[in-house]
Amino acid sequence: MPDSFFTASPEWRWWIVFYFFVGGIAGGAFAIAALLRLFGREVDRPLSRLGYYIAFPGSIISGILLIADLKRPERFWHMLIQSETFAPAFKWWSPISVGSWGLLLFGLFSFLAFVGGLAEVGILPRGLQALVQGGLGAVVNVLGGISGFFLAGYTGVLLSTTNRPLWSDTVWLGLLFLLSGFSTGAALLILLSWRQNLPALAWLKELDTWVLGLELVVLIVLLATVGMAVLRPVLFNAWGVLLVLGVVLVGILVPGLLHYRPLLGRLTVPGAALLVLVGGFVLRVVMLLSSEAA
Amino acid sequence: MARYAMVIDLDRCTGCRACMQACKVENNTPMANFWMYVFRFEEGEYPNTHVWFMPRPCMHCDNAPCAKVCPVGARYKRVDGLVATDWDRCIGCRYCEVACPYGVNYFNWKKPSKNYYLDWQDEDVVQVTGGAVPPYRNPDLDAPYGEEHRRTAGGGRLKGVIEKCTFCVHRVERGLKPACVENCPLFALHFGDLDDPNSTVAQLLRRKPSFRLLEELGTEPRVYYIGGHPPSTESRQIEEVKARV
């Protein structure tokens, strides 16, 4: 009898699927933007600004999706503040508690970077561009990048600390979601900037290819280590087919090929990016809902 | 301070499910929520089969995974060992539900008043009752309990919060036993203080070999089983239960 015989499904469905997907993109996009800002050149700034423009709305949408899934959404503030004493509510040993604070911090830093980015292009007062430049800008980028890195990966750890089939049978979900967050974040950056022919685009495509390769390796390790007793009820069905076709083929192998061979002509670059995004979404769908179906 | 525990004698249990019924009546739990559930297992191959029964309340673990993961402290461990849920604090994230390896948590997806076997506000029912017969609700469930003075007793409180067995905290604090223990006709369920050497639970655990469910997970359950064995790969659940158990 498996450990998960008695366990019950939490019925985490589409709100959570979209939260994991959007949170991954936002975190990944900001982390890439921060890397470009900290180690890139002056000409890379438009791409890093685009990362800020993705990250802040992404953090807002993530918060909304997370709250929407709560069945007492009006009590969402209990995650941050204790309802009786109004002291901060932080449990470092609870992934949801840590995740709530991580999302809040990411929202704060991505907001600062968003404002700084708008100031750089003259939409907001020029003085605010200090938020993404110089010493203060470095602090915002480093802390925002770390929280983005965290946001992209903690969702997998959250699943691993349960007692449900598949989720609790592997320690690789956190790394898989982190890599997927990076690849989808990079893909959205490519998709939104490919017409501008930015110098950093080639680097971004190379980064995306490497991350996709790592993602495939981690996915194979994950599947190889959970064992047949888990795979049979969870993935030897339509979910498994979707994983192979939607994630491995459409989301990893085909875009990886397109990064080397322009098989779609001028649509190759956006086409590959779009497929990576589709694969990242399908990955969340399969990982969440296949366990629910077991 | 007492250290409460339950001992379940599997040799005595006949699967009558009086404990399940008593729990429902005492705690006013909504339909399909079985805080105490009696599993019916079959082992062996026909005609050499063996059927046995395993009551499963909340394990009130000392190392409770549900309390660990609860992001808001709504699920917590009391000093006397009971694992309680504060309905007023729960945000409905259901993380406790997936963290618990015993599946003892039940989520109120529907408004509880609409999720009883009989909806007393239903117009067809009101035509018969004339509205004169109120639904029974145990008044003891509404008081705050424990040193923390939090509302943790009973079920069917709110839509969108999690519920589970409380070891009948409202009875235990009055010196009574949980309803399932009190109503078991075969004395298969025992409840008491592990630190009291004269308590039935302490005596039974001294006298007989015992096991705890999924002990290897390190949850340190406060429910002990005697007179049987844990379900294994040979054990098959012998009924299709419509409700989630």
Using only C-alpha atoms, chain A has a radius of gyration, in whole angstroms, of 20
Interface contacts A/B by beta carbons within 8 Å: 112
Nearest to A3 among B88, B101, B108 (CB): B101
Inter-chain touch B100–A163, beta carbons under 8 Å:
yes
Q: How far does B131 lie from chain A, in Å, by closest CA?
A: 31
**pLDDT at position B242 over 60:** no
Of the pLDDT bands very low, low, confident and very high (cuts 50, 70, 90), residue B241 is low
What is the interface pTM, i.e. ipTM, of the complex?
A: 0.83
Hey, of B33, B66, B72, B215, which one would you mutate to test binding to chain A, going by the most A CBs within 10 A of its CB?
Answer: B72
Closest residue, chain A, to B111 (C-alpha): A71
Note the pLDDT of residue B129. 76
DSSP collapsed to 3 states, B138-195: CHHHHCCECCCCECCCCCCCCCCCEECCCCCHHHHCCCCCCHHHHHCCCCCEEEEECC
Q: How many beta carbons lie within 10 A of that of residue B2, not counting itself?
A: 15
Burial grade of B67 (CB within 10 A; 0-12, 13-18, 19 or more): buried
N-term to C-term CA, chain B: 33
Of the pLDDT bands very low, low, confident and very high (cuts 50, 70, 90), residue B112 is confident
Inter-chain touch A83–B68, beta carbons under 8 Å:
no
Note the pLDDT of residue B164. 95
Of the ranges A85-89, B79-83, B202-206, the best mean pLDDT one: B202-206
Nearest to B91 among A79, A82, A91 (CB): A79
**3-state class (DSSP) for residue B41:** strand
A88 chain-B contacts, CB cut-off 8 A: none
Note the pLDDT of residue B233. 84
Task: Report phi then psi at A226, rounded to 5.
Answer: -80, -25
B100 chain-A contacts, CB cut-off 8 A: 7-8, 163
Reference B217, options B112, B115, B64; nearest CA is B64
Question: What tens digit of pLDDT does each residue of B9-63 get?
Answer: 999 999 999 999 999 889 988 888 899 999 999 999 988 999 999 999 999 999 9
Inter-chain touch A97–B71, beta carbons under 8 Å:
yes
CA distance B201 to B185: 17
**3-state class (DSSP) for residue A149:** helix
Nearest to B98 among A10, A73, A89 (CB): A10
Encoding tokens for residue A121?
Answer: 């292009």
Note the pLDDT of residue B123. 84
N-term to C-term CA, chain A: 14
**3-state class (DSSP) for residue A188:** helix
Inter-chain touch A70–B109, beta carbons under 8 Å:
no
Interchain CB contact of B158 with A (< 8 Å):
yes
B108 chain-A contacts, CB cut-off 8 A: 71
Burial grade of A39 (CB within 10 A; 0-12, 13-18, 19 or more): exposed
A102 chain-B contacts, CB cut-off 8 A: none
Interchain CB contact of B90 with A (< 8 Å):
yes
Interchain CB contact of A167 with B (< 8 Å):
yes
Inter-chain touch A72–B217, beta carbons under 8 Å:
no
Question: What tens digit of pLDDT does each residue of A199-223 get?
Answer: 888 889 999 999 999 999 999 999 9
Q: Average pLDDT over chain B, rounded to whole?
A: 89
Helical spans, DSSP H, in A194-244 = 201-226, 228-235, 238-242
> Mind listing the pLDDT tens digit of every residue in chain A (294 residues)?
666 778 888 889 999 999 999 999 999 999 999 999 999 888 889 999 999 999 999 999 999 999 999 999 999 999 999 877 888 889 888 999 999 999 999 999 999 999 999 999 999 999 999 999 989 999 999 999 999 999 999 999 999 988 888 998 899 999 999 999 999 999 999 999 988 888 888 889 999 999 999 999 999 999 999 988 888 888 889 999 999 999 999 999 999 999 888 888 888 989 999 999 999 999 999 999 998 776
B68 chain-A contacts, CB cut-off 8 A: 93-94
Inter-chain touch A75–B158, beta carbons under 8 Å:
no
Inter-chain touch B98–A163, beta carbons under 8 Å:
yes
Hey, of A163, A164, A289, which one would you mutate to test binding to chain B, going by the most B CBs within 10 A of its CB?
Answer: A163
Interchain CB contact of B35 with A (< 8 Å):
no
Mean pLDDT of B192-216: 95
Q: Average pLDDT over chain A, rounded to whole?
A: 92
**pLDDT at position B72 over 70:** yes
Ordered by start, the domain boundaries in chain B are: 4-234
Reference B24, options B134, B136, B125; nearest CA is B136
Reference A242, options A285, A211, A184; nearest CA is A285
Q: How far does B133 lie from chain A, in Å, by closest CA?
A: 31
CA distance A215 to A175: 8
**pLDDT at position B133 over 70:** no
CA atoms within 13 A on the CB side of A294: 28
Under 8 Å between Cβ of B15 and B176: no
Under 8 Å between Cβ of B191 and B4: yes
Note the pLDDT of residue B136. 67
Closest residue, chain A, to B235 (C-alpha): A1
**Structural domains in chain A plus CATH codes:** 14-293 (1.20.1630.10)
Note the pLDDT of residue B157. 78
Nearest to A72 among B90, B102, B244 (CB): B90
Q: Per CATH, the architecture of B4-234 is what?
A: 2-Layer Sandwich (3.30)
- Calculate what percentage of chain B has a pLDDT beyond 70: 95
> Hey, what amino acid is at A219?
L
CA distance A194 to A47: 10
Inter-chain touch A9–B98, beta carbons under 8 Å:
yes
B89 chain-A contacts, CB cut-off 8 A: 75, 78, 83
